Amino acid sequence: MSAPNERIWLIIAAIPYGHVTTYGQVAALAGLPNAARTVGRILSNLPTGTKLPWHRVVNARGEISLTGAQATRQKKLLVQEGVTVTRKHVSLAEFGWQP
DNA sequence: AAGCTGACGTATT
DNA sequence: AAATACGCCAGCT
């Protein structure tokens, strides 16, 4: 496990219930301001049963970046947490998160 | 070691 | 509004 990877995990794990963040935000908090892609790549590499709330991470527009079944799963999880998800975008109310 | 890839982001066309 | 191009960073081949 490399260091940035671990920081990213910790940051995602700290996202509060019912809130969402962006890939770029996670990357920035991890100390890698332009590594949004890295965050996505790492999430794609997560084991199926991971405890990380990866579904609370969306792209800069507040939309789900995944497609098909994956997107459906993420949307469902968010809705279950009380997050308002319209089509693919999350309402601004639960957007952003300051530790 | 070198190059390719990707759950992104922003600027252009 | 949608598609394309480029930059960025870590992991894989």
Distance between the alpha carbon (CA) of A25 and the C1' atom of B11, Å: 20
Nearest protein residue to nucleotide C7, judged by CA and C1' positions: A34
Sign of the CA dihedral running A50, A56, A57, A58:
positive
Residues in contact with A4: Cβ distance below 8 Å, sequence separation at least 6, in sequence order = A30, A31, A32, A35, A38
In chain A, domain spans: 3-94
Give the CA A96 to C1' B8 distance in Å: 17
A69 touches strand C (CB under 7 A): no
- State the pLDDT at residue A6: 83
Q: What's the pLDDT score for residue A31?
A: 86
A58 class by beta-carbon count within 10 Å (0-12 exposed, 13-18 middle, 19+ buried): buried
Distance A77 CA to C1 C1' (A): 29
**Third-level CATH fold of A3-94:** Arc Repressor Mutant, subunit A (1.10.10)
Alpha helix (H) residue ranges in A1-99: 3-13, 23-29, 36-44, 68-80
Model confidence over A42-94: pLDDT tens digits?
A: 998 888 888 899 999 999 999 999 988 889 999 999 999 999 999 889 998 89
